[in-house]
Amino acid sequence: ATPTALMVGTGRGAQLGILIKGPEVLESTRRVDTVVLDKTGTVTTGRMTLLDVVAAEGEDADRVLALAGALEDSSEHPIAQAIAKGAAAKVGAPQAVEGFANIEGLGVQGVVDGHAVVVGRARLLADWSQELDAELVRAMRDAEAEGKTAVAVGWDGKARGVLVVADAVKPSSAQAISQLRALGLTPIMLTGDNKAAAAAIAAQVGIDEVIAEVLPKDKVDTVERLQAEGKVVAMVGDGVNDAAALAQADLGLAMGTGTDVAIEASDLTLVRGDLRAAVDAIRLSRRTLGTIK
Ligand code: ADP
Ligand code: MG
């Protein structure tokens, strides 16, 4: 295509709510055959709410929520914000936290009211030798089977409860996925969340292939692996944890509603955070550069 055609394409993109880093981006857009989609904040709204607090035998649910809420008040993660907000509404202002640490893709830890508190995946609690009893394991499993996200709360060597949060699939996601398929592209969901929750959300929007429980640092390896298999990969994401994968992909698409880090790492920004704009971008590049298929 001529430089002029590319410039026109870029301008048309802006009208469609797609910000394109440079005219050459449309070239890689056209060749894409696989679209890797982050779950939280990309396929779903990312606005989570706290739905349930389950206390272990002999534990007090409000206490579980208060200590978890205090800790999560220091984190920007959508799960953290849901928990902090739920705690503030139910048990009041958060207590002070010392030694707060965020463990990427796993959870958070810190000292609250004299207790070393951990909130996150069961795997993180296991690192602290805090095993979940059968009742907590069941609570997590039941929530996850419904596409919700469950995190465990523990302190002083014991898992004390489970918090259930959920967000909603964006109304436009299912349509966008079927349009991507109609263009001959294969959608794959890539998420740090657990397998059951990821599968439930994927089923709601029509994605068959799910890669779950992937740590943020391993998202980029997944993209590389697909590329090594000969796929030309577009990655759509919104989070800090997606940035490396967005940069590695043949085409990185950031949700305009996402973090600055994700936007900076990407070639394209979908201003309104609507996945259908990814479809528009691919159609636009094919139209601008002449269709292959
Ligand atoms: P995604 O890829 O869906 O955006 P992340 O990689 O950010 O997910 O997180 C993966 C998992 O790690 C979450 O589903 C949750 O179980 C756990 N996790 C991450 N951050 C937190 C936090 N602040 N509080 C509790 N759990 C967390
Ligand atoms: Mg995300």
Q: What ipTM did this prediction achieve?
A: 0.95
Measured in Å, residue 234 CA sits from the centre of ligand 2 at: 15
Measured in Å, residue 201 CA sits from the centre of ligand 2 at: 13
Cα pseudo-dihedral 232, 238, 239, 243, rounded to 10? 30
Indicate yes or no: pTM above 0.90.
no
Q: Which of 33, 38, 193, 218 is catalytic?
A: 38
Instruction: Say whether both 277 and 175 belong to one domain.
Output: yes
Whether the CB-CB separation of 149 and 119 falls below 8 Å is answered with no
Instruction: Say whether both 243 and 257 belong to one domain.
Output: yes
Q: Which helix (H) or strand (E) holds 115?
A: strand 115-120
Instruction: Say whether both 64 and 205 belong to one domain.
Output: no
Which amino acid does the sequence have at 44? T
> Could you say which residues of the chain have pLDDT below 50?
292-293
pLDDT tens track for 191-206: 999 999 999 999 999 9
Residue 293's pLDDT is what?
42
Residue ranges making up the domain that contains 280: 3-45+168-289
Q: Which ligand minimizes its atom distance to the CA of 193?
A: 1
**Number of domains the chain contains:** 2
Reading the block at residue 67, the tokens are 């200590």
Determine how β-strand 115-120 pairs with β-strand 233-237. Answer: unpaired
Instruction: Say whether both 58 and 32 belong to one domain.
Output: no
Whether the CB-CB separation of 79 and 106 falls below 8 Å is answered with no
Residues 6+ apart with CB under 8 A from 7: 23
Pocket test for ligand 1, best of 37, 50, 77 (most atoms within 8 A of CB): 77
Nearest to 262 by CA among 273, 282, 247, 280: 247
Residue 289's pLDDT is what?
76
Residue 1's pLDDT is what?
62
